[in-house]
Every structure is written in structure tokens, then in C-alpha cells.
Chains A and B, each alone.
Chain A
Amino acid sequence: MSEAAPESEPAPSLATTGLTKAFGGVTALDSATVTFHHGKVNALIGPNGSGKTTFFNCVTGMIRPDAGRTAYRGRDLTGRPPHRIARAGIGRSFQLCRVFPRMTVLDNLLAAVRPHGLAGQLARSGRREETERARDWLTRMGIEHLERAEAGRLSWGQQKLLELAGVLMSEPELILLDEPAGGVNPALVDRIGDLVRELNAEGRTFLIVEHNMDMVMSLSDHVVVFDRGRPIAQGPPQVIQSDERVLGAYLGI
């Protein structure tokens, strides 16, 4: 899919114009205008407090921006509630991984199924087709043997994989991951990196907020750097690595 688009002119995925959000006197997002590339692995990096998570929360409708617009593949999503944005094809994970702790692992995935119509709503949850699809995702994450365990009892790493499986179950085109490598052992970081690469090859677009620079640089096609609520640099990872403004923002020079 990504091969179809010419390298010079990638199709826009998520795009914001003048996105602004202030909490009291603190400006978390300062007129951020940024475009991510469809079919690619995009990364959003920046020092702590540079507005990355606020950006995620604004574009997924969890918080309402003070000004500015959000669009996904040309369709305006500004001010839509989170479930509408999810149904437009955007899935997300949370910074501190969130699963439904007292549901079983399998139910965590079944809860992400979107029924249609009254009959679909009242139909039994966990029909064969759904359950098989859920098991496929669990198998892919390597946690299929835990399907009947309570999600809250899983280890941190297993919960991260479960959260990703749940997001995938909701069939998004664009997946926003907030610190996928946060608090995870090195082997699992590699594993998550491989999954992202595979899922991207299957046609899913990614936008990743991450502090692990090795992961960002090895994984992403396009990197956007935030500082003080706005993008200060963007481009392929090789270019970003040597950008002086980026070094300045990180090292405080």
C-alpha cells in the first residue's frame, strides 16, 4: 500500500491546523499545524511537557481544543466525541496502559466489537466469528493462552499487548500509540517494534509517541518533533537526528 504512493508526495493521514490548548495559564499546544503521512509509521517526539499527550487527547476527542482544526484524510473531525473519531478509523492506546481490568482477556477484545442496528446490539456477544477474530489477535500478540484470565492480573507487558490487541479488534486504519515501549523490558520493546512493522506492512498507519530514540529512529518513516506545544522540525529520521533545533530542545542548548 505504501509503495503505491510516490516517495516525494505521501498522502495526508491525520492533519491539524493551528491546534491550541491551554490549561489555566500553561499553553500545552500552541497553534500546532502538522500533517502525518498515510500508510507510514509516524513518530511524534519531544521533551517532557512539549504537548505530545495533549495532542493525542485533542485529536482523539478526549479533550476539546481551544482553537484549531483536526482532519483525518481530508475529513474534518474537530470537536467530534471520542467514539465518533474511533469510528472514523482512529484507534489509540493510553500512556499508562488501560485495559478493562475485571473482564477476561477475551472479553476485553469482544468489548471492542461494533454492532450495527438493534438486532446486532442485542445479539449474543462472543459469536463464533467474533471470538475467532479475537483469538487470532491474541495469538498474534502471543497471549492467547491467557484468554480466560482476568485482564487486571496480567503482567504489565502482557497488558500492553492486550491493549494493542483490543485496539486492533476495533479495526482502525490509523493507530495512535502513546509510549508503547514505556516500562517494558528490552525483549518486549523489540517485539512491539516488530508488530508495528508487520501491521504497517499490512496497511495500517501508525502515529507513535515515544521516548525510546532507538525505537523511534529504527521504526519510523516520518518524525515530527514538538517543543513547547508546536512542531519545530519534521522529516525522515536521519535528517531529524542531525537537526540542531532538535538537539537544542532536548539538551537545552
Chain B
Amino acid sequence: MRRGSDTRLIHLGALLAAAAIALSFPSMAPSPYEITVGIAILNYAVLSTSWNFVGGFTGYISLGHGAFAGLGAYGTGLLVARAGLPPFAALFTAAALVALIAVPVGYAALRVRGASFVIVSIALVLILLLVFQSWASFTGGSRGLVVPRPFPGMLRAEHHRTFYFLFLALLAVTLSAWWVIDRSRFGMGLKAIREDEDKAQSLGIPTYSYKLVVFVVSAAFTALAGGLYALWFGDLDPVFQFSVLGGAYMVLMALLGGVRHLYGPLLGAVAVGYALEYAKVEYGDTPLHLVVAGLLLGVVVMFMPDGVIPAATALIGRFRRSGETSIREVTAAELRERREQPNRTEVKDGERSGT
């Protein structure tokens, strides 16, 4: 029990420290450029956390989440540019529309498991890419869609700063939603699906409805990230909005950090996002950033299939446990207590046999 409240304090402290750094980052940044890197990383973090609603809870790996980001971006852009909606009304309307679209998409895609689901999700992105490229009269096609700025009078630096905080707020909301589901009974059902879907169903969990609901929630958050990006960046091109690569980045970041953890995708986004931006700046137009991403994916899959967070906790746990099992003085009271609960040693046996 004591250790439980200790870790809770540590968590809270780490959370406050991270929040303080994130909030003060814009005022410490030497130039607006650093703020744009911050925005890019926050955008990745929201996307990856949104992806993790499906990937982390249910274990269904979607490579097609780029489609929902693209639809959110184009939906927002088109509602502002063509329908004249106020920017933030457009953002939420677009996310709601994407959630609606995600219902039939999920209905079809979630019928298949494993590799088939991955293929179906990729197909969705490629279809949308073709549609948005060919339907140039409406979407602007490959020439792009210019989205009017939401704050017309604002200077560029101030614009970046504002969007940095908007992305940070969206990240906070997305993380909170993931946290609520993670500790809920609904979340427990979703995790049961990840472990053994047939078994979950045999216990009475309506697996199909559960998957569909969380898929729609995931799509809606992804669309919000895409829409906010559209309002910030102001120029959309189908090739970048509907890219399999975008979806693959979300997967890579979540896997790198650890899909079973609230902060896994965020951590992955900071690492991968920074590496990508660095490679782009230093090596310009070469595809080196893709090599970096590929290498990272390789390292994760080979050495840390559960991500950085579990790998790190396992390492810490190893040090702690070695302290526990080494020979040391034991008081008679401790011995008596231990004898009264013979179970504790057995737990350790169980843990040891698995490691």
C-alpha cells in the first residue's frame, strides 16, 4: 500500500514537471522556429495517442488512421473555405462528421482481424488520396487547398504561440479521455479483446460493439488533430494529408513509447518527432528522415517490443528486486509475518519463472 501511494506521488510530480516544461516552452524558445517544432511534436503526440485508443486497448493495428487525420483537415478546411463556417465551429463539425464516417468504416474493417485489418485500413487511405486528388474542382486537388487563417490580424510568431497552446490543450483532453477509458470497465473489456477476443466474448463482453465504439472515438480525436493542423498550417495537399506514412508514424511512435501506457505515444512522439524534424533540417530534401524512422522501428521491434516505458520499468524493477532477494538481516517479527502469508514467496516464484 505504501509503495502504491509513493508511486502515485512520483507520477503526480512527474506530470506537474512535464506540464510546467510544456507550458513554459514557448517563452523559452529562442525563435518561432522552435515553437513550430514544438507544435509538430504536439500534433504527432495527439495523433499517436488518438491512434492508441484502438491500437493500445484492442491490439488492432490500424495503418489507416492517416485517413481520419486527412478527413479532419480537409473537412475543417472545406467548411471554412467553401461553407464560410467560423474556424473552430468548422473544426468540431468536421470531427463529428468524421466520427459518423468512422461508423460504417469500422463496421466493415473490424470484421477482420490481424493482417487483414491492417490491409483494409491501408486501402482506406489510398482510396481517399485518389478521391481528393481527382476531385480537384472541390478539394483543390494537387494544387492544394488554402485554409483562411483563424486569427487574421495576428503576427506569425503570435500565431504559432497560440496554436502551440491549442495543441497542448487538445493533447491534455485526448490523454484524459484515454485515461478515463483505461481505468474503466469499458477499458477492461477492450483489453480483454486484445488478450483473447473469443474468450472475452464467451464471458459476455459485446466485443464487436466495444471495438466499434472505441474506433469511432479514436477517429474523432484523430480528426480534431488533423483539423487543428489545417487551421494552423493553412495549406493542405492530398499527398501529405492522406499518406500511409502518416499512419505509420502514429504506429511507430505509440510502439516506441509503449502502447499499454498512457504516456507511451507521447513519449514516442517526442523522440520520433524530434528525430524527424532534426533530419529534415540537417539533411533537407534527402529521404534520410525515412531511414531514421525505419531504423527506429527496427530497434523497437527487435529489442523493445513493448516499448520504452515497460523496458525501463523492467530495468528498474530488476535493480529493486536484486535488493530484495540478496541476503540481509531479517527480524523475528518480519519472519513471523512472512510465515503467516506463505503466498508472498510464491508470487515471487511465479515472477521469476517468467523472466
Tell me, in angstroms, the Cα distance from A124 to B204 when the chains sit together.
19
Measured in the bound complex, the distance between the Cα atoms of B287 and A32 in whole Å is 64
Q: Select B183's contact among A60, A101, A124, beta carbons within 8 Å.
A: A124
Segment of A34-42, A141-149, A186-194, A202-210 engaged in the interface with chain B? A141-149
Compute how far the CA of A115 lies from the CA of B200 in the bound complex, rounded to whole angstroms.
14
Q: In the complex, are the beta carbons of B353 and A83 less than 8 A apart? A: no
Q: Flag if A120 contacts B185 (CB, 8 Å).
A: yes
Best-surrounded residue of A82, A98, A102 (most CB of chain B within 10 A): A82
Closest to A167 in B: B203
B191 touches A122 (CB 8 A): no
Interface readout for A119-132 with B: 1 if CB under 8 Å, 0 if not?
Answer: 01111110000000
A140 part of interface (Cβ distance < 8 Å): no
Q: Does A227 contact B (CB under 8 A)?
A: no
Given contacts A83-B207, A121-B185, contact A149 B350 (CB under 8 A): yes
Complex interface: chain B residues within 8 A of A150 (CB)? 350-351, 354
Within 8 A of A (CB), among B160-178: none
| Known A121-B184, A122-B186, A125-B184: A111·B200 in contact at CB below 8 Å | yes
Binds A, one of B64-72, B75-83, B240-248, B339-347: B339-347
For window 66-110 of A, CB contacts with B under 8 Å fall at 81-83, 86-87, 91-92, 94, 98-103, 107, 110
Query: What 1/0 flags go to B202-224 for Cβ under 8 Å of A?
Result: 11111110000000000000000
A120 to B202, CA, bound (A): 20
A111 to B185, alpha carbons, bound, how many Å? 7
If A103-B191, A122-B180, A125-B188 touch, does A94 touch B199 (CB 8 Å cutoff)? yes
For residues 299 through 355 of chain B, which have their beta carbon under 8 Å from a beta carbon of chain A?
341-344, 346-347, 350-351, 353-354
Cβ contacts under 8 Å, A149 to chain B: 347, 350-351
In the assembled complex, how far is the CB of residue A226 from the closest CB belonging to chain B, in whole angstroms? 21
Q: What's the tally of chain A residues with a CB closer than 8 Å to chain B?
A: 41
Q: Is A199 an interface residue (CB 8 A)?
A: no
Known pairs A145-B343, A145-B344; A153 contacts B353 (CB<8 A): yes
- For B181, B200, B202, B341, which residue has the most chain A Cβ atoms within 10 angstroms? B202
| Residues from chain A with Cβ under 8 Å of B341 in the complex | 145
For B344, the chain A residues whose CB sits under 8 A away are 145
Q: Is A81 touching B188 in the complex (CB atoms < 8 A)?
A: no
**Any A CB within 8 A of the CB of B34:** no
How far apart are A166's CB and chain B's nearest CB, in angstroms?
7
Q: How far is the CB of B187 from chain A (nearest CB, A)?
A: 7
Closest CB of chain A to B341's CB: distance in Å? Answer: 7
**Distance, CA A111 to CA B204, complexed state (A):** 10
A170 within 8 A of B: yes
Q: Contacts A82-B201, A86-B201, A92-B202; is A100 near B185 (CB within 8 Å)?
A: no
A60 touches which of B186, B202, B343, B354 (Cβ 8 Å): B202
Q: Chain A residues near B208: list those with CB within 8 A.
A: 81
Contact B347 A146 (CB under 8 A): yes
A148 touches B347 (CB 8 A): yes
Least CB separation from B183: chain A residue? A124
Closest A residue by C-beta to B180: A122
B192 is an interface residue with CB less than 8 A from chain A:
yes
Residue in A closest to B200 when the chains form the complex, CB atoms:
A111
Q: Which residue of B lies closest to A124 (CB)?
A: B183
Assuming A87-B204, A152-B354, what are 10 further A-B pairs, CB within 8 angstroms?
A83-B204, A83-B206, A94-B202, A102-B195, A110-B185, A120-B185, A121-B185, A125-B183, A144-B343, A153-B351
State the 6 A-B residue pairs at the shortest beta-carbon distance, nearest first.
A145-B343, A86-B204, A100-B195, A153-B354, A121-B186, A111-B192
12 contacts between A and B (CB under 8 A): A83-B201, A83-B205, A86-B203, A94-B202, A98-B196, A111-B200, A113-B188, A125-B183, A146-B347, A150-B351, A153-B350, A153-B353
